[in-house]
Amino acid sequence: MSTGHDDGATMMRVLFAAPDALWPEWAPILTRLAPEMELLRPDAATADAASIDAIIYAPGGPVDDLSPFVNARLVQSLWAGVERIVTNPTLTQPLARMVDPGLARGMAEYCTGWAMRAHLGMDRYLQDGVWRHGLTPPLADARQVTILGMGELGRSVAAMLQGIGFPVAGFSASGRAIRGVQVFGPDGLDRALSRTEILINLLPDTPRTRGLLDAARLARLPQGAWLINPGRGTVLDDDALLAALDGNRLGRAVLDVFRVEPLPPDHPFWSHPRVIVTPHIAAETRVETAALVAVENLRRALSGRPILHLVDRTKGY
């Protein structure tokens, strides 16, 4: 760190290690929120990597080797998911994931919208001249919803659904209690699935979660259950899902994330009558709110205070 302004403020040199397309959107608001920040692009920083105090990171940028930045006290991800950086062997700095209030709200709205579509049976009302009276859905308090993954996003989704009246259960590796939510721990996944009419997956991509929703687990869901997956595509066994849909075990699947993105045009999800594909839009980082989180963490790291949303590398999130 070097000192700058006449008021004695501490200057921090921060590398913006993210795709070039993000620079025009992020740079103005970051520098406005933190005038003590010297925000650098990689070509300006590589010559003096040891002077970098912190790194703002997003996948797809020009920086893969983090080893030269020996004095960086933080790598702040702009994404909630960190699976594309946490396994980087050159990462030795503390890593923080993005927990953005705007992102959490967006995820809650996405999940609530699709849960309501499932709950109300909106897809039954085709505009084909047939009067389908007598298909009145139950009220929300009679519809069981389960959320896989009860971190910041899961709790936000649960709160919004509970506000409508849905009885919400959750599954998490820790099994930590959450007020108003029946939480199933590591040994309770099968029980959680068997009570679920609308299943929402928000689990991260880790070695333990990959392929978790396989044929056996999907078979635990009640007949006609909906799956909403805005979490990670690796959690789901694609072939098992298609078989469950073809066999009328599941009612419908709403998929926002995939093993390969963009989803290839010839993938069977596109044409399956019971699959709805959305293009990874459930929880976009909102610059206006996320920049506040990033700046707060940069200041914490440089002043020696505890970093928010620090990633546990043994867990991968």
- E strands within the chain? 2-3, 10-17, 37-40, 54-57, 75-77, 95-96, 145-148, 168-171, 182-184, 198-201, 225-229, 250-255, 275-277
**Alpha carbon distance 221, 122 (integer Å):** 21
* Distance in angstroms (rounded) separating the CA atoms of residues 224 and 101: 33
What does DSSP assign to residue 265? T
Gap between the Cα atoms of 16 and 39, Å rounded: 7
The answer to whether 280 and 106 have CB atoms below 8 angstroms apart is no
For 47, phi and psi rounded to 5 degrees?
Answer: -70, -25
Cβ-proximal residues to 246 (8 Å cutoff; 6+ apart), any chain = none
C-alpha span between 284 and 296 (Å, rounded)? 20
Check residue 31 and report its DSSP letter.
H
274 annotated active-site: no
Please say if 272 is a catalytic residue: no
Amino acid letter, 260: V
Strands 2-3 and 10-17: antiparallel
280, 286, 299, 300: the catalytic one is: 280
* Catalytic residue of the set 119, 155, 232, 309: 232
Sign of dihedral through CA atoms 115, 108, 233, 173?
Answer: negative
CA atoms in the 13 A half-sphere facing the CB of 143: 23
Positions marked catalytic:
232, 280
